[in-house]
Amino acid sequence: MTNVSTNPDHTFDVVIIGSGAAGLSLALQLAGQARIAVLSKGRLFEGSTYWAQGGIAAVIDPSDDLEAHVRDTLDAGAGLNHEETVRMVVEHAPACIDWLLELGVPFDRFENGAGLHLTREGGHTHRRVIHAEDATGRALEETLLRHAKAHPDIHLFENRLAIDLITARKLGHSDDRALGAYVLDRLSGQVETFRAPAVVLATGGAGKVYLYTSNPDSASGDGIAMGWRAGCRVANMEFMQFHPTCLYDPRAKSFLISEAVRGEGGRLLLPDGTRFMPSFDPRGELAPRDIVARAIDHEMKRLGLDCVYLDISHRPPEFITRHFPNIYRRCLELGYDMTREPLPVVPAAHYTCGGVCTDLTGRTDIPGLYAIGEVACTGLHGANRLASNSLLECLVFARAAAEDILHRPSPALAADLKTPAWDESRVTDSDEEVVVTHNWDEIRRFMWDYVGIVRTDKRLQRAHHRIDLLLGEIDEYYSRFRVSPNLIELRNLAVVAKLIITSALARHESRGLHYNLDYPKADPRLAKTDTVLAPDLDHAGFPPRVVSPDH
């Protein structure tokens, strides 16, 4: 391990933690006017963006209108959306699509080339989802990366896992602001210091807090946990979206069957071929994700099933292979021909609707610190995200944050706020890595069992007791041993689990993605009430305080 005095110290105008759609879009919006560092915890394309299948929602069809997109978003969000945020995002969507077309994102077009092909997904009343086959995220990520690599102002750092934010308060100053971050080089084991007057969390969500998830391994809630420890409020963490249809096969790790399959006529069936969604919602398979996921969960528990089935084999084979070539190819590799037979599917944790509280420019509670994309709680999604609004949110808030960063005066990094190097003088190498592995597995399992699609107060209290014990163990371990990628992610995962459990216990109703059997109805008095938690900065953020819903 390298001595602390030789650790690299990097200085930039902006440090962006995360290399997905939000982080890369922001970097490209800033390029030419700032020197930017983009940090990726693994390889540049390993985040959630790359694996996004569906598309980007935007009103570009003359038969559609902005008000319909607003209404659909508000309806899916079950009364918790901030309408000002929804309107901002929806109104800026067409311009974002134009920007992506200028960059060369290869969106699908009609066969005659007359215009962009639009599909429909659950919760949408119109066809408004722009897509690139069934791999929109990959097309978007590859295009953004190509432009970012070519720009001299953008410096890309792979295999850099952020450990914690550096703030003026942590250095003992009364006036707080972001100063940078301590970052682990996963290849060398060295801890580096990245300094900048503007720091952006674009780290994605926290799906890996659950045993079964559609998310890649990188989705361990790092940005939410770092923001919390730095002093940011978080909101609506009880609203974890479970995607209804992940392929049920032990060989298919986290393989998602796109929402668009249902949008193009896919039907959910029981093993005997009975269609069940119309019994739960008049929209059937096109109901919002929270309703579909709970319906599947209900049928699986009622009948003791391991899975249900998604069938689109009634559509022509050429239609299926043209619209879903990647899903078709992967399923065929595993022995499922979706042109001839239904696919076994189960729900899995998919999207974190809550996160670090921000305003409409991405600003957090700490001056100079921004949060954009899935890590943030902007008010767009409310109690349940509408399909294909996620990539859209990344694009719109990247543009808003870029404008704010460029036009808001930023203080220079003053000499009296010089950040110290990472200090490892009082820690040793661990000889008990099994503790990290065991705690990681335990958190993910009890979160799935006790804080999943359907909850009760008793289950939540059990989870609350377990996470408090584990947080103590993890904090002690963190204070004694050198950091490793697994330890950093476990520490963050435990913080996020605590925030989810605390938020779920605080909401005494069922709304959107939060369904509690002890409070099965929505409480009209809570229709506009977010669950906002504020950290206790004297005790590593805990216990959280439930504060005013206004954020």
pLDDT digits (tens, 9 = 90+) for 69-94: 999 999 999 999 999 999 999 999 99
In sequence order, which residues have a C-beta less than 8 Å from that of residue 170 and are 6 or more positions away? 230
pLDDT tens digits, 416-437: 457 788 877 677 776 677 788 8
Burial (CB count <10 Å: 0-12, 13-18, 19+), residue 203: buried
Known active-site residue 289: yes
pLDDT tens digits, 485-510: 999 999 999 999 999 999 999 999 99
Residue 296 near residue 287, CB atoms below 8 Å: no
Token code pair at residue 542: 């805990």
- CA-based angle 50:382:265, to the nearest 5? 60
Q: What is the CATH number of domain 242-349?
A: 3.90.700.10
SS3 98: helix
pLDDT tens digits, 245-298: 999 998 877 788 988 899 899 999 999 999 999 999 999 999 988 899 999 999
- 338 vs 344: CA distance, rounded Å: 10
- 57 vs 96: CA distance, rounded Å: 10
What is the C-alpha end-to-end distance of the chain, expressed in Å?
43
Closest CA to 483 of 171, 42, 63, 164: 164
Catalytic residue of the set 177, 289, 385, 466: 289
Evaluate if residue 4 carries a pLDDT over 50.
no
Amino acid (1-letter code) at residue 122: G
- 144 vs 36: CA distance, rounded Å: 15
What is the residue-wise DSSP string for 492-529? HHHHHHHHHHHHHHH--S-BTTB-BTTB-S--GGGTT-
| Class (C level, CATH) for 9-239+353-408 | alpha beta
| Class (C level, CATH) for 433-531 | mainly alpha
Residue 93 near residue 81, CB atoms below 8 Å: no
Question: In terms of pLDDT, which residue wins out, 241 or 51?
Answer: 241
Instruction: Give yes or no for a cis peptide into 152 (omega within 30° of 0).
Output: no
Give me the residue label for tokens 């107060």: 457
In sequence order, which residues have a C-beta less than 8 Å from that of residue 453 and are 6 or more positions away? 242, 293, 294, 297, 347, 515
pLDDT score of 428 = 74
pLDDT band at residue 38, thresholds of 50, 70 and 90? very high
Residue 546, strand partner residues: 533
71 φ/ψ angles, rounded to the nearest 5 degrees = -60, -45
pTM: 0.91
Q: Do domains 9-239+353-408 and 433-531 have the same CATH topology?
A: no
Pairing of strands 267-269, 308-311: antiparallel
Any idea what DSSP says for residue 166?
E
Map out the domains of the chain as residue ranges: 9-239+353-408, 242-349, 433-531
